[in-house]
């Protein structure tokens, strides 16, 4: 498989990241509640494909039922295409993700990001977590260790450089993600031989 899917809550910076990865600028979603279709792009002249899936979770002006439908669509897309998907990039907001996860847990809900991480593992699409907006994070190591903990990975986060990628999409600082993806591509190529 040579497809990379980007999933994540709305407003985490998926469109911004997509633009950095592909060099294409595109409409960032339009009206709330309108389910975005998967968008396909090529990467750096290679025949890989990036698919930006609709954002899930809270969006103002979008009701519960529509939110559930969007999540169902995302899950179905990944399930249907799992054989072709090389990597599932779960994009999170590094500044907000821990608070959001913990708030959901306190309310007895399963946090979407944690659910999505395990879902990707379950369907055999090894997740890469793009921890975005790191420019807003002061206590970088602590925050990334907390994220590992919430995802069921034992800290320290530095053990998981192929999974946990701190980035700032807005300024184009996405090196750790490009390295993790590059690694994944090389592994896939080797398996093809």
**Binding stretches for ligand GDP (CB under 6 A):** 8, 10-16, 28, 55, 132-133, 135-136, 168-170
Buried b (16+ CB within 10 A) or exposed e, 81-96: bbeebbbbbbbbbbbe
* CB 67, min distance to ligand GDP, A: 14
Within 8 A by CB and 6+ apart from 108, the residues are none
* CB 141, min distance to ligand GDP, A: 18
> Between 159 and 171, whose beta carbon lies closer to ligand GDP?
171
Q: How far, CA to CA in Å, does 86 sit from each of 19, 39, 98, 129?
A: 20, 16, 27, 14
* CB 14, min distance to ligand GDP, A: 3
Phi, psi (deg, nearest 5) at residue 2 = -135, 25
* CB 186, min distance to ligand GDP, A: 26
> Between 1 and 38, whose beta carbon lies closer to ligand GDP?
38
Residue 37 has which token pair?
Answer: 């279709």
> Between 59 and 83, whose beta carbon lies closer to ligand GDP?
59
Phi, psi (deg, nearest 5) at residue 63 = -85, 170
> Between 59 and 148, whose beta carbon lies closer to ligand GDP?
59
């Amino acid at each position: 498989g040579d497809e990379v899917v980007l999933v994540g809550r709305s407003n985490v910076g998926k469109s911004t990241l997509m633009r950095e990865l592909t060099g294409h600028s595109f409409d960032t979603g339009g009206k709330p509640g309108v389910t975005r279709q998967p968008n396909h792009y090529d990467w750096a002249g290679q025949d890989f494909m990036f698919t930006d899936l609709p954002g899930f979770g809270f969006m103002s002006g979008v009701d519960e039922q529509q939110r559930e439908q969007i999540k169902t669509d995302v899950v179905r897309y990944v399930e249907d295409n799992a054989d072709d998907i090389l990597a599932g990039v779960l994009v999170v907001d590094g500044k907000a993700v821990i608070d959001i996860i913990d708030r959901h847990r306190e309310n007895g809900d399963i946090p979407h990001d944690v659910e999505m991480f395990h879902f990707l593992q379950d369907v055999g699409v090894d997740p890469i977590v793009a921890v975005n907006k790191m420019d807003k994070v002061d206590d970088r190591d602590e925050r990334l260790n907390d994220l590992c903990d919430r995802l069921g990975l034992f800290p320290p986060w530095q053990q998981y450089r192929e999974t946990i990628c701190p980035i700032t999409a807005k300024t184009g600082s996405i090196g750790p993600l490009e390295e993790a993806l590059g690694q994944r591509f090389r592994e896939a190529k080797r398996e093809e031989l």
